Amino acid sequence: MIYKIFRTPEWDALQSDGSTTGAPVDVADGFVHFSTPEQAPETASRHFAGEDGLWLIACDPAALGPNLRWEASRGGADFPHLYAPLRLDQVAWAKPLPLVDGVHVFPDAAA
pLDDT single digits (tens) 38-54: 999 999 999 999 999 99
* Residue range 12-35, pLDDT digits in tens: 999 999 999 999 999 999 999 999
What are the Cα distances from residue 17, in Å, to 37, 51, 88, 105? 27, 24, 8, 28
pTM above 0.85? yes
CATH number of 2-100: 3.20.170.20
